[in-house]
Amino acid sequence: MIQLSFGLGLSNLPSGYLFLARPLTPLEPCHLVIFRISSFSLLVILAQSVLFISIFYGITVVWEKDVGILTKLLSTPSPRSSIVLGKSLAAGLRGIFQAIMIFALALIIGVKIRFDPLDIAGVFAVVILFAMCFSSFSMFLASYLKTRDRMMGIGQALTMPLFFASNAIYPIAIMPIWLQYISIANPLSYVVDAIRSMLLAGTYENLPVDILVLVIATVVFVTLASTTIKKLLE
């Protein structure tokens, strides 16, 4: 319910931009500027919503440790990786529902994006990988932080730096050199680039690289979380 309210609150941003849009030059019609701002805002909302779902997912694992559920799960013969994969896939499913809600709102307010079925399916796949990557990262952090209060503080401290140190709002080319290196290493940059190429540009030259980086980052964080999750019980 909290995440739904957050998503609905963010979804008001594109309609607000419609009233604020102005032509950039006398030669550029106003409706072109509205199209650009609305579509850009939709990608920002989608990326930020799924990031918020994922980065706080470690709190769930800490809560399960506090009530004894995690102890029972780790006492079963199931591999630890299956626990992490199951929870990260659950975060991916929540991300899909968030994306569906945002796409529905985009249709209602008339945002011009590519609603090609293959592109939408590709966006859903990227959202699942995105959520799995950062939820696994959150569970890895939870293994060391071990309390919900610490996880809440670290999650809030990481969300905005991760978001602004990516190409979600500003192009990497105009960033300072040191920030460009951080943005290139940030998986969120590849998420935004993949979604932008499918929903807006319709160009897929960089898509294989984006997917490959996301898969590698997801595998790394799932492996780290699977290796360290037992530390929660220590």
Q: What are the tens digits of pLDDT across the range 74-91?
A: 888 888 888 889 889 999
Give the CA angle between residues 204, 206, 210 to the nearest 5°.
110
List C-alpha distances in Å: 42 to 210, 216, 227. Answer: 19, 26, 36
Residue 35, pLDDT score = 42
Whether the CB-CB separation of 222 and 88 falls below 8 Å is answered with yes
Which residues touch 156 (CB under 8 Å, ≥6 apart)? none
Query: Each residue of 105-144: pLDDT tens digit?
Result: 878 877 777 778 888 899 999 999 999 999 999 999 998 8
Whether the CB-CB separation of 65 and 232 falls below 8 Å is answered with yes
Residue ranges per structural domain of the chain: 45-106+117-233
Of residues 169, 136, 138, the one with CA closest to residue 151: 138
Residue 145, pLDDT score = 86
Residue 186, classed as helix, strand or coil, is coil
pLDDT more than 90, % of the chain: 24
To the nearest whole number, what is the mean pLDDT of the chain?
A: 79
Q: Give Cα 127 distance to the centre of its chain.
A: 7
Selected residue with higher pLDDT from 23 and 230 = 230
Residue 38, pLDDT score = 61
Selected residue with higher pLDDT from 223 and 169 = 223
List C-alpha distances in Å: 135 to 79, 86, 140. Answer: 18, 11, 9
Residue 28, φ and ψ in degrees, nearest 5: -105, 120
Q: Which amino acid is at 62?
A: V
Residue 168, pLDDT score = 82
Sign for the pseudo-dihedral over CA of 109, 115, 121, 126: negative
Work out the pLDDT band at 103, boundaries 50, 70, 90: confident
Mean pLDDT along residues 21-25: 39
Work out the pLDDT band at 152, boundaries 50, 70, 90: confident
Residues 232, 61: Cα–Cα separation, whole Å: 9
Lowest pLDDT segment from 27-31, 182-186, 201-205: 27-31
**Tokens 């626990």, residue located:** 83
Residues 177, 222: Cα–Cα separation, whole Å: 30
List C-alpha distances in Å: 233 to 136, 148, 225, 227, 230. Answer: 17, 14, 14, 13, 6
Work out the pLDDT band at 212, boundaries 50, 70, 90: very high
Residue 102, pLDDT score = 84
Residues 164, 233: Cα–Cα separation, whole Å: 34
Is 0.85 surpassed by the pTM of this model?
no
Query: Each residue of 27-54: pLDDT tens digit?
Result: 444 444 444 446 667 787 888 889 888 8
Residue 190, pLDDT score = 92
Q: Which two tokens stand for residue 99?
A: 């994306």
Whether the CB-CB separation of 211 and 122 falls below 8 Å is answered with no
Work out the pLDDT band at 15, boundaries 50, 70, 90: very low
Of residues 144, 187, 142, the one with CA closest to residue 167: 187
